[in-house]
């Protein structure tokens, strides 16, 4: 019997990369690979990279440097770089790091078996094209192994918005939506393997407009059809753009019980001047009005968002406008970052703010956002919510799951609750999690 080769994938960045890593493992499984949890045990290592955060390429090169010892100890070890840094850097990675055997962009990873075979023969392999064929068609069906109760499912890729700070249109390409029938088939397959909750993914997921059996479907129609799948208890989606929040999607938050009361809707700034410089094509007033409509449809919804501080040209007044917007929205969760230039994007060519100014503004914004998150956590005490239990807790006899609002909840209960949804009464809060007890009945 042939001993299977072992594959280690290190995933950086967003949930879409988590999904992509799963599909890469499945694609290479057809070439005889099984996954391993340690790079030391691997016959092939793939770094699935993200280009969103600061100095992303440098971090990848640093990681590759750490792999030199493994390559020296095992000359047959193959090392690949995938994802958005691979797309952006291309052949430069092979030139700068000779230990790399293959480089593949996020739209071409269905070709991994061919690239791996080329690398295994001793040749360098590079594919950063935007192929005409649909990679999801080429990937085929997913293995039937049982899996945990939650899963990601990519429905849309790419972005046409061209925000001045963002590399996604250059690394992931134009917006493209998968046909609805294929998404429904993949969702049914996931449910058959034990999945109760699916998060729909896209760089701009609410721009989804996929081919349906009776015309083009938007995200709301897709969600409603997914909700009809027996055994699929929960639906979420991320990440959204305010300009694509259509009326029927807002309505779905109120009339589709499977769609959880949580929405990640980035705004990036509260200053109209900075929003225009970012090429966001909406104003702060537009965003606030949209939040009002969403909360009217689903009053208990928890709103999350993203903010960039220190964008080129941001003044004290611009930053205070962001703080004012945050106070008005009252976020339950949020992510905030200092602006950092991305080569090839318009904002990278503009005059940059001093780092100490960026750091001061970020600290002030994060203090406000943290206070709002803690307030949202305290407001849950005494309420009864649904919790999907996913894993054992840190303490014996404890299990942990996610609430309807995507908040971490831990309770004292037996392992037989793992993979199940229960009603939980929230009894206490900490900054990053909630404690509760199983509700009677």
Q: Which domains does the chain have, with CATH numbers?
A: 5-127 (3.40.50.12160), 146-379 (3.80.30.20), 384-438 (2.40.50.140)
The SS3 call for residue 394 is coil
Residue 152 has pLDDT above 70, yes or no: yes
Bigger pLDDT: 269 vs 142:
269
Q: Which of 101-110, 329-338, 409-418 has the lowest mean pLDDT?
A: 101-110
Checking if the pLDDT of 438 tops 80, the result is yes
Q: Is 14 annotated as a binding residue?
A: yes
Q: Mean pLDDT highest for which of 15-29, 60-74, 115-129, 179-193?
A: 179-193
Average pLDDT, the chain: 91
Q: Is 256 annotated as ligand-binding?
A: no
Residue 144 has pLDDT above 60, yes or no: no
Asked if the model's pLDDT at residue 294 lies above 90, the reply is yes
How deeply is 409 buried, as exposed, middle or buried, from its count of CB atoms within 10 A (0-12, 13-18, 19+)?
A: buried
| Structure tokens that stand for 276 in this block | 């225009």
Lowest-pLDDT choice from 37-41, 49-53, 58-62, 66-70: 49-53
Q: Please check if 334 is assigned to a binding site.
A: no
CA distance 33 to 272: 51
* pLDDT of res. 141: 56
Q: Model confidence at 256, in pLDDT bands (50, 70, 90)?
A: very high
Across 69-88, average pLDDT: 90
Opening angle at CA 159, ends 106 and 362, nearest 5: 95
Cα 273 to chain centroid, rounded: 28
Provide the pLDDT for residue 130: 65
133 or 319, which is more confident: 319
1 vs 129, residue with greater confidence: 129
Query: Which strand (E) or helix (H) includes residue 388?
Result: strand 384-392
């Amino acid at each position: 019997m042939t001993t299977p080769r072992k594959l280690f994938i290190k995933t950086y960045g967003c949930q879409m990369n988590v999904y992509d890593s799963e599909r890469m493992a499945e694609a290479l499984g057809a070439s005889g690979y099984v996954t391993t949890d340690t790079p030391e045990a691997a016959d092939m290592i793939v770094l699935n990279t993200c280009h969103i955060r600061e100095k992303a390429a440098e971090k990848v090169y640093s990681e590759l440097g750490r792999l030199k010892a493994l390559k020296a100890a095992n000359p047959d070890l193959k090392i690949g770089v995938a994802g958005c840094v691979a797309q952006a850097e291309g052949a430069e990675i092979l030139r700068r790091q000779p230990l790399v055997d293959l480089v593949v962009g996020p739209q071409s990873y269905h070709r991994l078996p061919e690239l791996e075979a080329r690398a295994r023969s001793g040749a360098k392999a590079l594919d950063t094209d935007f192929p005409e064929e649909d990679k999801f068609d080429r990937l085929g069906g997913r293995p039937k192994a049982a899996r945990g109760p939650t899963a990601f499912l990519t429905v849309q890729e790419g972005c046409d918005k061209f925000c001045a700070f963002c590399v996604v249109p250059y690394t992931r390409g134009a917006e493209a939506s998968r046909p609805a029938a294929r998404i429904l088939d993949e969702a049914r397959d996931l449910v058959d393997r034990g999945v109760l909750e699916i998060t729909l993914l896209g760089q701009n997921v609410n721009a989804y407009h996929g081919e349906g059996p009776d015309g083009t479907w938007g995200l709301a129609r897709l969600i409603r059809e997914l909700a009809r799948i027996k055994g699929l208890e929960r639906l979420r989606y991320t990440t959204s753009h305010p300009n694509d929040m259509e009326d029927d999607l807002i309505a779905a938050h109120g009339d589709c019980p499977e769609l959880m009361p949580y929405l990640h809707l980035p705004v990036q700034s509260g200053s109209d001047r900075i929003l225009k410089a970012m090429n966001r094509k909406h104003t702060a007033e537009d965003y606030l009005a949209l939040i009002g409509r969403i909360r009217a449809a689903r009053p208990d919804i928890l709103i999350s968002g993203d903010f960039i501080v220190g964008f080129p040209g941001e003044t004290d007044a611009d930053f205070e406008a962001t703080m004012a917007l945050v106070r008005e929205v009252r976020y339950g969760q949020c992510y905030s970052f200092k602006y950092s230039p991305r080569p090839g994007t318009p904002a990278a060519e503009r005059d940059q703010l001093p780092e100490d100014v960026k750091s001061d503004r970020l600290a002030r914004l994060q203090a406000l956002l943290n206070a709002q998150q803690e307030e949202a956590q305290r407001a849950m005490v005494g309420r009864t919510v649904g919790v999907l239990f996913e894993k054992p807790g840190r303490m014996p006899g404890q299990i942990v799951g996610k609430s309807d609002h995507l908040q971490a909840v831990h309770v004292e209960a037996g392992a037989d609750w793992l993979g199940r949804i229960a009603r939980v009464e929230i009894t206490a809060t900490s900054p990053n999690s909630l404690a509760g007890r199983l509700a009677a009945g």
